[in-house]
Amino acid sequence: MRAVRPAAVAGTFYPGRREDLVATLDALLAPARARVGPTRTAAKAYVLPHAGYVYSGSTAALGYAELEQRRGTLTRVVLLGPTHRVPVDGLALPAVDGLETPLGTVPVEQLDPAVRAALPQVLDVPEVHAEEHSVEVHLPFLQTVLGDVTVVPLAVGRARPDQVAAVLDALWGGAETVVVVSSDLSHYLRQDQARAVDEGTVAEVLGLEGPLHHSQACGATPVNGLLVTARRRAMTTRLLGMCTSGDVTGDRRRVVGYAAIALTEPAARADGQEGG
- Phi and psi torsions of 137, nearest 5°: -65, -20
Q: What is the pLDDT of residue 183?
A: 98
Q: What is the pLDDT of residue 39?
A: 81
pTM: 0.95
Partnered with residue 92 across adjacent β-strands are 123, 155
Q: Which residues of the chain have pLDDT under 70?
A: 1, 268-276
Give yes or no for a contact between 75 and 90, defined as CB atoms under 8 angstroms apart: no
Residue type, 245: S
- pLDDT given at position 276: 25
Per DSSP (E only), the strands in the chain are 4-5, 45-48, 76-82, 91-93, 98-101, 104-107, 122-124, 150-156, 177-182, 187-189, 236-244, 255-264
Confidence (pLDDT) at 119: 98
pLDDT of amino acid 200: 98
- Neighbouring CB atoms inside 10 A of 204's CB total 17
Q: What is the pLDDT of residues 163-211, one digit of tens each?
A: 999 999 999 999 999 999 999 999 999 999 999 999 999 999 999 999 9
pLDDT in the model for residue 135: 98
